[in-house]
Amino acid sequence: MPSIKLSVTVRGALERKYNAAALKQIDGAVKDWIAADAKRGIKTIHVAVDDAAGMKALGATAVTGRATAEKVKRAIDGLWTRLTPDYLALFGSQDVVPQFVVDNPSYDEGGDDDKTVPTDNPYASSSPFQAKKRASYLIPDRVVGRIPDMEADGDPAWFTDYLATAASSTPADPSVFHDAYTICAEAWTRAGAACVNYLGLPAALLMNSPPEVDTSPTAQKRLAWRLHMIKCHGAQLDPRFYGQKGDSYPVALSSANLIPRVQPGTLVAAMCCYGAQVYSPADLAAQLPGDWPLASAYLRKGAPGFVGSTMIAWVGGDEMMGADWIAAGYLKGVLGSASIGRAFLEAKQDYVRWINQQGHGPDRADEKTLIEFVLLGDPSIQPVQSAAPAFAAMVKRRAAIVSPLELQERRQRRVMRAQLAQQIREMLPVRTGVKRVPAARASKLFKAARKMLEGDHRAFRFRPHAPRVDRLETRLPGTAAPVRAGIAAAARPVGKRESVEYYWSGRRVLDGHKQIRLLKVETDIQGNVLRSAVLHSS
């Protein structure tokens, strides 16, 4: 049996958006894409969830009325039960296949002021969606990507060009990605260097912005290299990423400068705020009307995928934190020959598993990071060849890339990842908001930790006496007792860990750029400090 990729769209939305000629082009491109997948051992089932006949043929119930994210997910869940696919492709931007919009875990009126977060994470979870139960969609267990067109744009080329990229994609030799365009806001150099080293690349490849800017000869030359990692600032409805040094925010990358230089097959991930936003260049609120969003520019020019955030993202300044782990983990997985969808799933799961291995759980900033990061692109694409000699020989002979053994391994990975997701969900902390905390205690904790803010505590207008406070209860899994002579193994009692998290947010705006700091302190029930951290908005 071949691997199965389920591609889901909403035909009614496509018909409202495109004329008959455009739809014919899109349908033709889909047909070619399906044929190319078949040659790779992937059976692609493309279905409109509002097509009653098509859904009935697959044994599922069609969506009726307005296609909401909740309705589309229920339809996908029904299809998943019957088809057990390896991949899910959401076919269209959010004006075709709607994104979920959920509460922002790290919302603070004086700091991270995103009240809600657009996300595809619920589609990637096999659990039924429950808006008030974040655990139902926080940890993905499905390999999911979104193939976006352009919002409010009837040009079919956004689909047809990308589908041509997906249909012609073949794994490249790993040596192609030994050079990299890696750029970081100068203010975060230490964390940026850690990200580069995590990929196994020399820190010398990291460009700091400033001095590097959009027009620098070095930066322009390296844009033609096939591996891109961007740790800069982003802004809403803005086709540019920005560096930072002090109060200066030079343009580090613009879509206008990227388009003539980026090469087909480029791997890219961005830690920047709003990095994966897809908006109409004709939007009246667009910062540079007519310029493509950066994520769209990468995909239109031949990148197999793009990983980024939908809203304000959290990064580390001195060490890797939050978005750094998701973006760098994704790139590391792809460089290790995973499909872009599997690499993205594993980056999220492995980040939370790593947090658990440190003896604690994800905090509110971690939760937002997991929710807001999305993969744009066909999740089944494998951009990098395996280092195994037999695999390289198969590619050279143009033989079928996917062998029966690889299919078995793929299914085994899927089962293991589903089990891991369930284990992680069971260890997610239960949060209870603490409404009243003695101001003296809060101020004392803030004073002890504020040195981590490096003098920024006044400029960002923190309120030391008024943090957001959560009491956490984390369920600890039981372990099997040692087997002794003639005695069967028994599960030890399940325990729990209790702690308290304090969050202080501060914000300032410089030259139109919003900067946010989040200081977190976690204590035990007695008030002893366990750990502290500072996160930066990108």
Backbone angles phi, psi at 495, to 5 degrees: -105, -170
Collapsing DSSP states into helix, strand and coil, what is residue 119? strand
pLDDT confidence of 411, banded at 50, 70, 90? confident
Q: Look at the alpha carbons of 334, 270, 91, 264 in this order and tell me if their dihedral is positive or negative.
A: negative
Mean pLDDT score, 413-434 = 91
Question: Is the pLDDT score of 409 beyond 90?
Answer: no
pLDDT confidence of 494, banded at 50, 70, 90? low
Question: Is the pLDDT score of 394 beyond 50?
Answer: no
Question: Is the pLDDT score of 33 beyond 60?
Answer: yes
Distance CA 163, CA 160 (A): 5
Question: Is the pLDDT score of 397 beyond 80?
Answer: no
Mean pLDDT score, 293-319 = 98
Lowest mean pLDDT among 184-188, 249-253, 281-285, 409-413: 409-413
Distance CA 118, CA 483 (A): 49
How many CB atoms are closer than 10 A to CB 400? Answer: 13
User: The sheet that has 513-523: what strands, in order across it?
Assistant: 314-315, 529-537, 513-523, 495-510, 468-476, 430-433
pLDDT confidence of 398, banded at 50, 70, 90? very low
pLDDT confidence of 414, banded at 50, 70, 90? confident
pLDDT confidence of 454, banded at 50, 70, 90? confident
The predicted-structure confidence for 345-365, as pLDDT tens digits, reads as follows 999 999 999 999 998 899 999
Mean pLDDT score, 123-151 = 97
What is the DSSP code (8-state) at residue 135? G
The predicted-structure confidence for 7-16, as pLDDT tens digits, reads as follows 999 999 999 9
Question: Is the pLDDT score of 143 beyond 70?
Answer: yes
Collapsing DSSP states into helix, strand and coil, what is residue 205? helix
- End-to-end Cα, the chain, rounded Å: 44
Lowest mean pLDDT among 156-160, 322-326, 379-383, 421-425: 421-425
Q: Are 50 and 12 in contact (CB under 8 A)?
A: yes
Predicted TM-score of the model (pTM):
0.94
Collapsing DSSP states into helix, strand and coil, what is residue 356? helix
The predicted-structure confidence for 314-334, as pLDDT tens digits, reads as follows 999 999 999 999 999 999 999
Question: Is the pLDDT score of 450 beyond 70?
Answer: yes
C-alpha distance from residue 50 to each of 22, 23, 56, 61, 62 (Å)? 20, 16, 11, 9, 5
